[in-house]
Amino acid sequence: MKNSNHREITLILETSPPKSPATFKQLHALFVTSGLALHTYPLSRLLRGLAAFPPLHSHAAAVLRHAPPPSSPFLSNTLTSSLAARGHTLLALSLYSLLLSPFSSPKPNNHTYPSLLKACAASPPSARHGRSLHAHLIKFLGDDGVDSFVRAALVNFYSKCGRIAACRYIFDQIPDPDLPTWNSILSAYARRRSNYLGCADSAAEALALFEKLQFSSIRPNEITLVALIGACGDFGALCDGAWAHAYVVRNNLVLNRFVGTALIEMYAKCGRLDLAHQVFDALPQRDTLCYNAMIRGLAIHGHGRRALTLFDKMRFDGTEVDDVTMVAVLCACAHAGLVAEGRNCFTTMEVDFGITPRIEHFGCLVDLLGRAGLVEEAEDVLRRMSMKPNAAMYRSLIRACRIHNETEIGERLIRKLIQLEPEHGGNYVLSSNLYADINQWDGVDRVRKAMKAKGIDKTPGSSTVEIGGVTHEFLLGDRRHPLSKEVYSMLDEIERRLLQHGHSPRTKEVLFDVEEEDKEDALTCHSERLAIAFALLSSEKGATIRIIKNLRVCGDCHASSKLISRIYEREIIMRDRSRFHHFRDGVCSCSDYW
């Protein structure tokens, strides 16, 4: 067959490949009779086509096996990547293993690994194979022999697997990362986010990386911005989040449902529910993700009725209701004390939407009942669940026991909780709180000794406040800040004015059996109090103060923040690990129901 016919057949394979296995077999016969089977490039096109049909996979392996002795793994790489791209990960790995045979020649090269790593990243059960591939490529290529494309594939693999340390280590070895690689590393930090309060360190790293990206020649796209906007929300970086929003508008990027959802969540997490609603209203199309984000935002700000109204609109619009929607709706009911509405949503969601309650839904129901003082009913839900309760459900109900003085039930639940999570410091703190509420200091002492014996530390309270686009962090009793002297002087003034306005420190919030005066000193040094003092010093008169705390705000800080908002005529918006509190004119948006 002439070379022109060879090129014609190859072109057909590339542009209009046969549509059936039988036709491919006929084409293979033509390859053999014409001598085309002796040419590497046409064979690679044939292998790609055969990989599209699972019944022909063994045929493809036979074609590869009978190909002329290769000088490179090109044909093997072609078939491996074609199989991997179509989701046949284990088959691709089996083919790859043939290259590892001591009798195999040639050995894998840089083109062997990217498609395999991508396939392993897309298939969680295959993640362990991806780590093995990493070891293999170092063995065969050497650390210096791994090119940027393979490193980028490794970044993507470890990003999808949540192995953020490995992901960052490899990313830092790439001289000039391309946009997909930047997106992979930013997405790695984004995936680490689990809720509204966690992973501030990850968010800070993501923001620092984005600053680095801006000094490169790479221009962000929608994927980059979704990761960045999510990090801004986690870290409470409103200025950076607003900048990202402006970047979308300024560069005429599409405000699609993914970017829109990210912006809604970011503004809600930063305390700007008004801006979250503006974005929601401006979206040309709203899907389930958009509605879920807006309902969840309303929920954590305590707007239960508005969340239910939006839920009704979602149903009226014909938007699909999923299990995440129902978690958000039940959460909204719990934060607003809408017991009847929450019960009804829980009992009807399987009939109305075909959603079988998961543990998250049961957790919301327990939280709803516990907050409302229906502690025994909530405990009965735990007993009658078809699945084993998790630690979060126990913690939620134990906090309710503290609020409603159900000490006996609380002690019973704490024993179960510590059995479930014996190494979790927060569980012991809950136990200490419960004993401190009833002045059982011997119980508090027992808990402290148990923590010390197990080497368990309490998670330190941390609060951040953003002033002029710069985020400042304070810990309990923190004196690291450059303006520490001025902050503590302001704190003294705040405490004097609080006492003048009738504030009585709730010393039971301090866990240790010490003198009352010492307890009061301990309360004034809580991280949120330091952050508020700094904000009063550093921000313009009348400006809103936005605080993010990693733990649940204590009762004394909640009471004092209400009074501070009135004394200093400031609105204070505080996000703790449970929800938002909007303090204004001496009252809180939660109506002391949190």
Q: What local confidence, expressed as pLDDT, does residue 10 receive? A: 65
Which range in 38-47, 249-258, 321-330 is most confidently predicted, on average pLDDT? 321-330
268-290 per-position pLDDT tens digit: 999 999 999 999 999 988 999 99
What's the whole-number mean pLDDT along residues 373-391?
Answer: 92
Q: Measured between alpha carbons, how far is residue 565 from residues 104, 191, 525, 557, 559 in Å?
A: 75, 36, 18, 12, 10
- Tens digit of pLDDT for each residue in 487-523? 999 999 999 999 998 887 665 555 544 333 334 445 5
The helix/strand/coil state of 588 is strand
* pLDDT averaged over every residue in the chain: 85
Question: Residue 525 in contact with residue 477, Cβ under 8 Å?
Answer: yes
**How far lies 16's CA from each of 29, 40, 225, 510, in Å?**
18, 20, 38, 75
Of 111, 77, 114, nearest to 96 (Cα)? Answer: 77
Residue bearing the bigger pLDDT, 58 or 437 = 58
Confidence band of 11 (pLDDT split at 50, 70, 90): low
**Dihedral angle computed from the Cα positions of residues 453, 455, 456 and 457, in that order, rounded to the nearest 10 degrees:** 120
Query: Of 364, 502, 512, 501, whose CA–CA distance to 441 is shortest?
Result: 512
Three-class HEC string of 31-71: HHHHCHHHCHHHHHHHHHHHCCCHHHHHHHHHHHHCCCCCC
CA 154 to chain centre: 21
Q: Is the pLDDT of residue 339 over 50?
A: yes
What is the pLDDT, as a whole number, of residue 405? 84
Classified as helix, coil or strand, 6 is helix
User: Is it the case that residue 195 has pLDDT exceeding 50?
Assistant: no
Name, in order, each residue with C-beta under 8 angstroms of 151's C-beta and a sequence gap of 6 or more.
Answer: 170, 171, 173, 174
User: What are the respective helix, strand and coil percentages of the chain, to the nearest 5?
Assistant: 65, 5, 30
Q: Which run of H or E residues covers position 471?
A: strand 470-475
pLDDT digits (tens, 9 = 90+) for 202-239: 777 887 888 888 888 888 888 888 988 988 888 788 88
Q: What is the predicted pLDDT for the residue at 523? A: 54
**Residue 445 clears pLDDT 90, i.e. is over it:** no
Residue 585 pLDDT exceeds 80: yes
10 Å CB burial of residue 140 (0-12, 13-18, 19+) is middle
Residue 235: per-residue pLDDT: 79
The structure tokens listed for 78 are 């072609």
Beta strands 572-575 and 545-549: pairing type?
A: parallel
Q: By C-alpha distance, which of 109, 98, 23 is closest to 67?
A: 98
Backbone angles phi, psi at 195, to 5 degrees: -160, -170
- Predicted local confidence at residue 288, as pLDDT: 96
Model confidence pLDDT, tens digit, residues 165-184: 899 999 999 988 999 999 99
Residue 76 to residue 44: CA distance in whole angstroms: 9
| Tens-digit pLDDT profile for residues 134-149 | 988 888 888 778 888 8
pLDDT at 515: 39
pTM > 0.85: no
Most confidently modeled range among 58-67, 308-317, 384-393: 308-317
As a whole number of angstroms, the distance between CA 227 and CA 389 comes to 32
Highest mean pLDDT: which range of 148-152, 210-214, 442-446, 569-573: 569-573
pLDDT over 50 at 539, yes or no? yes
Distance of CA 236 to the CA centre of its chain: 14
Summarised one tens digit per residue, pLDDT across range 342-360 is 999 999 999 999 999 999 9
